[in-house]
Amino acid sequence: MKVLSVKAHSREYEIVIEKDFSHLGEKVKGVFHGKLLAVYDQNTHPLFADEIKKELSHVELLEFILPAGEETKSIQNYAKLLSFLAENGFTRKDGILAVGGGVIGDLCGFVASTYMRGIAYLACPTTLLSCVDSSVGGKTAVNLAEGKNLVGAFYAPSLVYVSLSSLSTLPQREVECGFGEIVKYAFLDREVSEGDIKRGITEEIILKCLNIKKRFVENDEFDKGERAKLNLGHTFGHAVESLSYYNYSHGLCVAKGIDKIIDISCKYYGYGEDKREQFKGLLSSVDFALSIDYSRQDLLDKIKIDKKAESGAVSLVLIKEIGNTEVVKMPLDKLEELI
Ligand code: GLY
């Protein structure tokens, strides 16, 4: 078992990485003694519910199953979960356990942050993306018809428990989602190398990514500075994701976004072909189709309506060197020149 301790400003908590759920019981006991609502989606319930029930036999455990998919992260499901907790007599001593990817995690975290002004939130992330990114750091949210993640809170989990066995049967799209974020970490910090990425899903790469994420969260839990660097590739990534009507996976779009940022960074810092090739070489370790099929104008139009485009400028994370990035407030007319 590997354990990382996140010393965030709001709470200190452990991330446990284990081959299966066999230590979940003892870890839950270590942080909390109330009853627990385990929330699954229709994919994770058949895979993990029996094992989790067995490991948590000492806990009064209730279950709630939601449909899989982004639409689940809604105000309606948020309200349903709150009512379920109230109907079943949950109090401030009790907690909620999210078993799933980012959708279930974000929704449950937000429910936990607001039910009775805050109950314990525990996470068992079961996708690569949620293991290396969304389960850590306390960003919780639901979507509105007007946009994704428009309602939410910073609310740190009390425990994150990663069972590596849950990553062994992921569909290709989920693997792609995770590796888009993993290659992002490789640009943010040299701790993750091209060789690590080429070895695929290993405990080592998950630990390295989590260590990087932990440092960002400890330094800037409430996203007022450094943490913005975790958005590397996301400005163009979100534009492509939306232009593709979400047919492309998030990870693929992030990688396409990083490819665009490499070109922009090289122009912005006046780098030559050697540097561009070095950056592109690292990005090619994920072996994704990186070209963007949308016009420069379509991308700019999407970016302009993105929440990051404020007063005629957009915050972009540029790559100075591998392991050294910079947040630059770039006027939109300058961006138009560079893309
Ligand atoms: N996933 C970006 C962040 O946690 O800030």
Each residue's pLDDT tens digit, 197-245: 999 999 999 999 999 999 999 999 999 999 999 999 999 999 999 999 9
Supply the CATH classification number for the domain 222-338.
Answer: 1.20.1090.10
**133 C-beta closer than 6 A to ligand 1:** yes
- pLDDT level of residue 148 (50, 70, 90 thresholds): confident
Kindly report the protein residue whose alpha carbon is nearest to atom 2 of ligand 1.
230
Q: CATH 1.20.1090.10 residue ranges in the chain?
A: 222-338
Sole residue written with tokens 């990663």:
162
237: CB partners within 8 A, 6+ apart:
180, 250, 253, 254, 255, 256, 257, 258
Asked if 138 and 221 count as a contact pair (C-beta separation under 8 A), the reply is yes
- pTM, two decimals, is 0.95
Q: CATH 3.40.50.1970 residue ranges in the chain?
A: 2-170
For the chain, what is the total number of helices (H) and then of strands (E)? 13, 12
**181 C-beta closer than 6 A to ligand 1:** no
Report the nearest atom of ligand 1 relative to the CA of 216: 5
Supply the pLDDT for residue 216: 98
Domain 2-170 fold: Rossmann fold (3.40.50)
Report the nearest atom of ligand 1 relative to the CA of 228: 5
